[in-house]
Structure 1
Amino acid sequence: MFPKKAIIAGPVYLHLTPDLSSKSIVSFSTPLQPDQILDSEGVPFGVGGRAAATGLALHRFGIPVHLVGKVGDDRFGEVVLNRIREISPDLAGGLVLDPSTSTGVTIDLNPPDGVKSTQSIPGANNTFYASDIPRADLQLADLFHFTDPAAMRSVYRSEGGELLSILQRARREGLTTSLDFSLPDPSDPAGAVDGSIVLLNCLPVVDVFFADAADLVYLYQRDVYDRFAGWPNGNVADEVTAELLHALSEQVLSSGVEVILIKLGPRGLYLRTASPAAWKKAGRALAGFSEGWHGREFWAPAFKATGTKTGEGSERLVSGFLSGLLRGEEPGIAVLMASAMGA
């Protein structure tokens, strides 16, 4: 069975990683002083952002992918486009060049034996709208996946109004809609938006939904979240039970979602799917799925990672699951693919 086609939309950045391997932890033990300079051994660069990471991973898995996002009409945007085109000329066809703004940039500071931090300049990501998605692209695809809406001001403001417009546009063209949702840092501007209201508005037009367990507990059972967070371990995902996962997934599925995949870190993945009646509006990517996808619920273990982790594990996990889904695999296989790719 040939895999179906996917559009991956969301934030795209030029990603810079200064090489600080020659620096000692002492260099970062105190705040930087005015006019202080830290030498770098070089600045490796590439394409960043969760949309790019998800789309590139899907491409490597053999799925026909079209990236949709926005960069500035500047040198950084040119670098991003060229890097993506080097991988595949067709991948970058949905990236909009906006001369009125600059390309988004992320800078990773990862000192040896220190704490990694990331500086983010959203740039063009803050001006992405439903009108930036060509209708012709939607007509040629089967799945529309949106990731990291909290990183795009135009998308998350007004309680996710633009996110709803984006998903509705994909739904009108007959695509299966997919959303990878995460909460922003409370100190970020997006942190002032009520995520539960965003989901209340948008989930009725979402078919496949991804979220971290801790985020769902925070949104739907805040008292439980506060209790878990106050325990010595302080890791909410470590305390989540099967009963709590069932209750959280029930709230999401009752909004009309057909498939929910909850990420539990080293504890694995929880998958639950809706009853047969809900699958009638599932879009092209889910069309013709067997009864094996209806009314399923299971908790899959995480794979133990081997070798060195390179980051972007969550995006690879999502890509692994979507790859299985777009190939028409049974749910158990799709979850195993997600666990393996995310390890």
Structure 2
Amino acid sequence: MLPRSTPGDLELVGPLGMTAGGCVSNTGGMLAALGAPVEVVGDAGGDELGRTLVRLLTTRGVDTDGIRLVPGRSTSYSVVVQPTGLDRSFWHHAGANAEFDGAAIDLADAGLLHLGYPQLLPALAADAGAGLHALLSRARAAGLTTSLDLAVLDPASPAAREDWPALLRKVLPLVDVLTPSTDDLRSVLGLSGDDLDAARSLVELGPAVVMVTAGSAGARLCTAGPERLAAAGAVLGDVDIPAWSDCDIRAVAPDVAVRTTVGAGDAATAGLLFGLLSGVDPTRALDVAMRTAGRALTAPAS
């Protein structure tokens, strides 16, 4: 139960937990836990919260050399509100993320670039996604496999001024792996009906591999044909192209006791990416994605 917000009252609440969240920590940290070498990249403020963030990320086993602490800027944070038995909601502050455009990312020696939540990175989304397009173009030119995850679009945010259907049509041909949730797609594309059906239509917009997650409804994995898969950068160059071509696979949600839904979608993305890095077949990769999401669902709520 949420506390009341009556002026002048004192309401007792539970303990406060602080974790490094978002795709940088959740997807990156879970990939590291699965055994992949991970360097995280992003901007934080030159404040105490930024220094705390770096310490928290370090405990996840990732390389934090790519985290810049920007003097004079605040660190992005989210307050996650999750009443018992209900889905979570977020109160978000963009902070230093507002000016992150990806131009300073060093792609040398990398095989995979995963980018999360462009709706929360206004400098990347501005001007019809010019910064996002430039970063993905640079990564593809360097031979990297590119991966993109979306977020729910706040209609009051600066990013909501962009034409997201047009923006995605522009950048998705540069995306090799796309892993949105149905909530993301509803907010960005206004989808209705069986939102898992969007996985196939999204492949037709250019990505090689699309996994759409839908909470308790499970997930759907669809892939493109062999020519698109063969062009999908270093990581997909190591998979069995015939086995991965023209797939359409559904998976049920993890059968676990849910303690928190925070980070489950990011964990599913990490599982899928780890499956690709490991060279397993698509059915096994989707299974790894669901099992990894299950680990997040059963984690102690912070």
TM over 0.5: yes
How many angstroms apart in 2 are the aligned matches of 1:40 and 1:217? 33
- SS of 1:256's partner is coil
Residue 185 of structure 1, CA deviation: 2.4
CA drift of 1:253 comes to 2.4
For residues 273 and 249 of structure 1, the distance between their equivalents in structure 2, rounded to whole angstroms, comes to 9
TM superposition score normalised by structure 1: 0.77
**Match for 1:300 among 239, 245, 251?**
251
Q: Distance in 1 between matches of 2:84 and 2:220?
A: 35
| TM-aligned CA distance change 1:36 to 1:188, over 3 Å | farther
1:281 to 227, 231, 250: 231
2-structure distance, mates of 1:114, 1:216? 20
CA shift in 2, pair 1:103/1:217, >3 Å: closer
1:92 aligns to what SS in structure 2?
strand
**Partners of 1:55 and 1:65 within 8 A in 2:** yes
Greater mean alpha carbon deviation, residues 35-44 or residues 98-107: 35-44
Residue of structure 1 in register with 2:300 after alignment: none
Quote the Cα distance in structure 2 between the aligned partners of 1:288 and 1:112.
Answer: 43
Aligned partner (choices 154, 161, 175) of residue 185 of structure 1:
154
Distance 1:240 1:152, change over 3 A: closer
Q: 2:64 maps to what in 1?
A: 92
In structure 1, stretches of 5+ residues that fail to align are 1-23, 229-238
Asked whether 1:163 is paired with 2:136, we answer no
Distance of aligned partners of 1:197 and 1:92 in 2 relative to their CA distance in 1, 3 Å threshold: same
> Please, which moves more after superposition, 97-106 or 198-207?
97-106
1:72–1:100 Cα contact (<8 Å) kept: yes
Match of 1:210 in 2: 179
Q: In structure 2, do the counterparts of structure 1 residues 309 and 43 end up closer, same or farther at CA, with 3 Å as the change threshold?
A: closer
* Residue identity opposite 1:315 in structure 2: D
Question: Which residue matches 1:10?
Answer: none
Question: Which string of whole-angstrom CA distances, capped at 9 and with x for unpartnered residues, describes residues 79-113 of structure 1?
Answer: 1112222343x521111121131111222345678
Q: What is the rounded CA distance, in whole Å, between the counterparts of 2:33 and 2:216 in structure 1?
A: 24
CA, structure 1 residues 115+323, in 2 after alignment: closer, same or farther (shift >3 Å)? closer
Tell me if structure 2 keeps the 8 A contact 1:96–1:132: no
* Letter matched to residue 339 of structure 1: M
Give the 3 Å change call, closer, same or farther, for CA 277–305 of structure 1 in structure 2. same
- The aligned residue for residue 21 of structure 1 is none
Residue 202 (structure 2) aligns with = 252
Once the two structures are superposed, the pairs formed by residues 1-343 of structure 1 within 5 Å of their partners are 27-28=3-4, 31-33=5-7, 38=11, 42-88=15-61, 91-110=63-82, 117-134=89-106, 138-213=107-182, 215-216=184-185, 225=192, 228=193, 239-240=194-195, 245=197, 248-290=198-240, 291-306=242-257, 308-309=259-260, 311-343=262-294
3-state SS in 2 of match to 1:76:
helix
Superposition deviation, residue 176 in structure 1: 0.3
Distance (Å, rounded) in 1 between the aligned partners of 2:87 and 2:146: 36
* 8 A Cα contact 2:153 2:184, kept in partner: no
Structure 1, 52-61 or 249-258: larger mean CA deviation? 249-258
Supply the distance in 2 between the matched residues of 1:193 and 1:124 (Cα, whole angstroms).
20
**Structure 2 Cα separation of the partners of residues 310 and 163 of structure 1:** 28
Residues 22 and 263 in structure 2, CA contact (< 8 A), matched pair in contact too: no
Instruction: Tell me the SS of whatever aligns to 1:45.
Output: coil
- Contact kept, 8 Å, 1:183 with 1:191, in 2: the verdict is no
Query: Matched residue of 1:305: which SS?
Result: coil
State the distance in 2 between where 1:111 and 1:57 align: 25
Deviating more after overlay: 96-105 vs 320-329: 96-105
In the superposition, the TM-score normalised over structure 2's length comes to 0.87
Deviation of 1:174 after TM superposition, in Å, equals: 1.0
Instruction: Rate the CA distance shift 1:277–1:185 in 2: closer, same or farther, 3 A.
Output: same
Is the Cα–Cα contact under 8 Å of residues 271 and 297 in structure 1 kept in the other structure?
yes
Offset, 1:309: 3.1
Give the SS at the match of 1:325: helix
The AA in structure 2 aligned to 1:172 is A
Whether contact under 8 Å (1:69, 1:94) holds in the other structure is: yes
Rate the CA distance shift 1:74–1:328 in 2: closer, same or farther, 3 A. same
